[in-house]
């Protein structure tokens, strides 16, 4: 799905919650959001590989497994580096974009034709 961080959310609605309730709400929201994103994929994954900090959260991993009804595993089971994978993926996409190569393909995202990443803005 997408890459987000704490700056993408307005937590005002959680102000009245206890810290435990707020954490539980945000964890359930995260798992539910991932589960809803499945409908936008060209096919349903038979397993999910998780990288980034969320894979260290056992409650999130359990909620994801329940919501997705398939195995949800940390990327380390494949020998990948879970703390570096997202940065490596963005670097790979940036290099392909600089070279004018497609970032999205019909076989991977369901787009009608191979697509590049848009327009690069020069540094100031």
Query: Domain check: are 42 and 89 in the same one?
Result: no
Domain that holds residue 99: 84-117
**Residue 75 scores a pLDDT above 90:** yes
State whether 22 and 63 are in the same domain. yes
Question: 59 or 6: which carries more pLDDT confidence?
Answer: 59
73 with 88, same domain? no
**49 and 99 together in one domain:** no
Same domain, yes or no, for 76 and 89? no
Half-sphere exposure of residue 37: CA atoms within 13 angstroms, side-chain side: 13
User: What is the predicted pLDDT for the residue at 91?
Assistant: 93
Q: Is 123 inside any structural domain?
A: no
CB 72 within 8 A of CB 64: yes
Strand partners, 49: 73
Residues 6+ apart with CB under 8 A from 105: 111, 114
Residue 61 CB partners (closer than 8 Å, separation 6+) = 50, 54, 55, 72, 74
pLDDT digits (tens, 9 = 90+) for 48-57: 999 999 999 9
User: Which of left, alpha, beta for 69 (phi over 0: left; psi -120 to 50: alpha)?
Assistant: left
pTM: 0.73
Widest pairwise Cα distance in the chain: 49
Span 53-64, average pLDDT: 96
Percent of the chain with pLDDT over 70: 97
**pLDDT tens digits, residue range 18-50?**
999 999 998 999 999 999 999 888 789 999 999
Does residue 29 fall inside a structural domain?
yes
User: Binning pLDDT at 50, 70 and 90, where does residue 2 land?
Assistant: low
- Considering the domain architecture, whether residues 39 and 69 belong to the same structural domain is answered as yes
User: What's the domain count of the chain?
Assistant: 2
> Do 107 and 46 sit in the same domain of this protein?
no
């Amino acid at each position: 799905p997408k890459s987000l961080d704490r700056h993408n959310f307005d937590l005002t609605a959680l102000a009245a919650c206890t810290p435990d309730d707020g954490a539980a709400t945000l964890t359930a929201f995260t798992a539910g959001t991932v589960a809803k994103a499945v409908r936008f994929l060209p096919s349903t994954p038979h397993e999910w590989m998780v990288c980034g900090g969320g894979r260290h959260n056992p409650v999130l991993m359990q909620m994801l497994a329940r919501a997705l009804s398939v195995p949800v595993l940390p990327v380390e089971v494949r020998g990948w580096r879970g703390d570096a994978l997202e940065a490596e993926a963005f670097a790979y996409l940036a290099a392909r974009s600089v070279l004018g190569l497609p970032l999205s393909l019909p076989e991977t995202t369901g787009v009608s034709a191979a697509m590049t990443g848009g327009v690069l803005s020069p540094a100031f």
